[in-house]
Amino acid sequence: MKVKAFAKINLCLDVLSRRADGYHDVEMVMTNVDIADVLEIRELEENKVSLICNNKDLATDETNLIYKAIVLLQKETKRNFGVEVRLEKNIPMEAGMAGGSADAAATLKAVNELFNLGITTERLIELGARLGADIPFCIMGGTVLAKGIGEKLTPLKKLPKLKLLIAKPAAGLSTKLVYGNLDIETLNKTGFKHRDVREMVSIIESDDTDDIKTVKIAKALDNILEVPSLKLLPFIGQIKQIMYDNNCLGSLMSGSGTAIFGIFDNDSDMLKAKYVLEKDDRINYIETTTTV
């Protein structure tokens, strides 16, 4: 069985508070983009989990989310089964584009189908939430408002097909590091003005034409995690500025970074920005894509 695991970007992300369990309560709007890892999954006669990947930088042992997803399904169903997963990695790592989460979500769905486990989508989402906050969204897909730690999902209208340029610095920032440098309590006490995520939701749910909706979405982009990330890696701001210098409608860091995307209304401006960014050896990933 061969399946695709699509990347995501955040159109907005707000962190409300830190929870006692170490997670954070968030509100965010996420959507899939047409960049995907490819997983080839097959049954093994031997009861073992085998993970093979074309990217040698990715751990393929029991610490990998694909591996953990399979073990979780074995425990859930009290069944032992052998699985081999061959992973073609196309989503950049440490990018805030849910590469690992997308792979785990695709694995949960595919193994459930391959072995006729009979687990409902709702239950898969519950199981996925145990492994990572973005996995429930990756199971559902589309464009979604997410609350809680990311597991409370509300599907939204399908987006216009947005023209996107995505650039990622070679320097990565781990989710743990970014959240560790976000002092949300202090920000709240000092009167930090949170962008209302409901603004983005209302734009997406509106009856505006695609052209008008695209412009409004671009103007409403917001990610509170840029606050610590820009301090940790100022180059993020420089990438955004290059996109704005080449007439992007709006630019944002996705998730906890470090991928930056720009929304463009024409291919010419997008390719000009891509040409400028490609010449910077501090960038190790650059791609044009669209929302799915």
Active-site residue list: 8, 134
CA 238 from centre of chain: 22
- Say if residue 259 carries a ligand binding annotation: no
From residue 203, alpha-carbon distances to 27, 60, 197, 206, 255 in Å are 16, 41, 10, 5, 20
d(CA 283, CA 169): 4
- The bridge status of strand 2-18 relative to strand 49-53 is unpaired
Residues 6+ apart with CB under 8 A from 193: none
Is 129 annotated in a binding site? The answer is no
Taking CA atoms, 178 is separated from 150, 236, 248, in Å, by 17, 13, 26
Q: Which backbone phi and psi does 231 adopt, to 5 degrees?
A: -75, -40
Say whether 92 counts as a known binding-site residue: yes
Cβ 162 vs Cβ 146: under 8 Å: no
Distance of alpha carbon 30 from alpha carbon 14, whole angstroms = 12
Residue 257 annotated as lining a ligand binding site:
no
Asked if residue 140 belongs to a known ligand binding site, the reply is: no
User: CA–CA separation, 286 vs 206, rounded Å?
Assistant: 32
Tokens coding 43: 């049954």
Q: Which residues contact 91 (CB under 8 A, 6 or more apart)?
A: 5, 7, 35, 36, 37, 97, 98, 99, 102
What DSSP state is assigned to residue 206? S
Beta-carbon count within 10 A of 61 CB: 8
Q: Which residues line the annotated binding site for ATP? A: 92-102
Q: Which residues line the annotated binding site? A: 92-102
